[in-house]
Structure 1
Amino acid sequence: MSKRNKIIYWIATAWLSLGMLSTGIVQLIRMKKETELMHLLGYPDYFLTIIGVWKILGVIAVLIPRFPVLKEWAYAGFFFTMSGAVISHLACGDKDLFGPMLLIVLTATSWYFRPAERKPVVASIN
């Protein structure tokens, strides 16, 4: 892996992790603004706990060494969560898409530039 790609990976991964960790914590402690936003989007309060826990676990999975398949699941979860957030915002008429769109871009960038030892081994059948 080139030095350039390694730098891109770690910058994207650091910002992705900070974004997911901070929003996960905000959701777990049920800050008033976050609770109001979830109600606006049509989700129940317990949804904050579910999403918050999974975001924090996803950050741990992406940052720890080894477990490449678990990392794939974490990246997929981040993508599905954030694309679902974009769709939810659009469905209720909220045009504030910067946060979820940025996290989608960071997810894709981190996933694409991850080092070989963080990718699952694909077995070929010959």
Structure 2
Amino acid sequence: MTKRNKIIYWIATIWLSLGMLSTGIVQLIKMENEVTMMKNLGYPIYILTILGVWKILGVIAVLVPKFPIIKEWAYAGFFFAMSGAVFSHLANGDGGKDFFGPILLLVLTFVSWYFRPADRKTTTTNL
């Protein structure tokens, strides 16, 4: 892995982790803005707890060394959560400001996943 790729990986991963951790905490404590947004999107409020817990666990999985399969699941979860957020806002007819956060986290998810070091990737075997 080149030094440039390592820098790209860590910058994207740190920003991704901060974004997921902060939104996960906000969702777990059910801040008023988050509750209002979920109601406007038509989701039940308990979904905030589910998303918050999974985001925080995903951040831990991505940052802790080893466990590449768990990292793959965390990245997939981030992708599903953020792409789901984008489509939910789109279906609801929300404005551009509502898309910024989820799209940014979606891009950071892809960049972090793409540039991850070899020891954080799964190895494939032929069965």
User: Do both share a fold (TM > 0.5)?
Assistant: yes
* Structure 1 position 29, deviation (Å): 0.2
* 1:111 corresponds to which of 94, 110, 113: 113
Residue 41 (structure 1) aligns with: 41
* Structure 1 position 124, deviation (Å): 2.8
Secondary structure of the residue that 1:61 maps to in structure 2? helix
Q: Report the aligned-residue RMSD.
A: 0.6
Q: Give the aligned length.
A: 125
Residue 10 (structure 1) aligns with: 10
Q: Measure the CA separation in 2 of the matches of 1:117 and 1:123.
A: 16
Secondary structure of the residue that 1:124 maps to in structure 2? coil
What percentage of residue pairs aligned between the two structures are identical? 74
Structure 1 moving runs of 4+ over 6 Å: none
Q: Measure the CA separation in 2 of the matches of 1:119 and 1:7.
A: 17
* Structure 1 position 10, deviation (Å): 0.1
CA-to-aligned-CA distance 1:92-124 (integer Å, 9 cap, x gap): 111220000000000000000000000001113
> What TM-score comes out, normalization by structure 1 length?
0.98
Structure 1 residue ranges without an equivalent (≥5):
none
Residue 52 (structure 1) aligns with: 52
Secondary structure of the residue that 1:65 maps to in structure 2? coil
1:65-76 counterparts in 2 under 5 A?
65-76=65-76
Structure 1 range deviating more: 72-81 or 88-97: 88-97
> What TM-score comes out, normalization by structure 2 length?
0.97
Amino acid at match of 2:74: A
Amino acid at match of 1:10: W
Q: Measure the CA separation in 1 of the matches of 2:121 and 2:5.
A: 15
